[in-house]
Amino acid sequence: MALKYTNKINKIRTFALSLVFVGILVMYIGIFFRESYIVMTLAMLIGFLFIIGSTVVYFWIGMLSTKTIQVVCPSCGGATKMLGRVDACMHCSEPLTMDKSLEGKDFDEKYNRKSTK
Ligand SMILES: [Zn+2]
């Protein structure tokens, strides 16, 4: 089974974008419940919360972006942003590492948490 790794910043961005769509969808569903004021108001409120949530996530991406390291991918030659010790290329999803000791090892998200001596 081949696992496809995605760049963390891209992953969070996709998540934020999906939150917007969920929010719009919930609000849209609310329109079908026009006869029930409570259900419609609730749907609008939940939908609004999703959109607020995505704004928060987008803000978080902005914060995280200051901590990323710009590197040139050795595989595709494109400039990518790395978050943490291991991350995948934004363009070709090539696993990249900042740590020489992890080079050649299987890409693993847990390397970001574990501290090796
Ligand atoms: Zn690449």
pLDDT tens-digit profile of 33-65? 888 899 999 999 999 999 999 999 999 999 998
CA 88 / ligand 1 centre spacing (Å): 8
Helix (H, G, I), strand (E, B) or coil at 5: coil
Rounded Cα distance between 26 and 46, Å, is 7
User: Is pLDDT larger for residue 53 or for residue 101?
Assistant: 53
- The reply to whether 23 and 60 lie within a common domain is yes
CA 20 / ligand 1 centre spacing (Å): 28
- The reply to whether 75 and 96 lie within a common domain is yes
Rounded Cα distance between 42 and 46, Å, is 6
CA 61 / ligand 1 centre spacing (Å): 21
Which of 3-7, 46-50, 82-86 has the weakest average pLDDT? 3-7
User: 47 near 27, Cβ under 8 Å?
Assistant: yes
CA 24 / ligand 1 centre spacing (Å): 33
Domain boundary among 47, 65, 83: 65
Amino acid at 17: L
Q: Name the pLDDT band for 117 (thresholds 50, 70, 90).
A: very low
Residues in the chain: 117
CA 17 / ligand 1 centre spacing (Å): 23
CA 112 / ligand 1 centre spacing (Å): 20
- The reply to whether 108 and 73 lie within a common domain is yes
CA 98 / ligand 1 centre spacing (Å): 15
Give the predicted TM-score (pTM) of the model: 0.75
**DSSP-based helix, strand, coil % in the chain, nearest 5:** 50, 10, 35
How confident is the model at residue 79, as a pLDDT?
A: 94
- The reply to whether 20 and 60 lie within a common domain is yes
User: What's the whole-number average pLDDT of the chain?
Assistant: 86
CA 114 / ligand 1 centre spacing (Å): 25
> Cα–Cα distances in Å, from 88 out to 9, 28, 31, 99?
10, 36, 41, 14
Domain boundary among 65, 83, 99: 65
CA 76 / ligand 1 centre spacing (Å): 4
Q: What value does the mean pLDDT take over residues 65-88?
A: 91
- The reply to whether 17 and 61 lie within a common domain is yes
pLDDT at 103 over 70: no
| Domain, as residue range, for 79 | 69-112
* Domain assignment present for 17: yes
Helix (H, G, I), strand (E, B) or coil at 78: coil
Q: What value does the mean pLDDT take over residues 10-36?
A: 94
* Domain assignment present for 81: yes
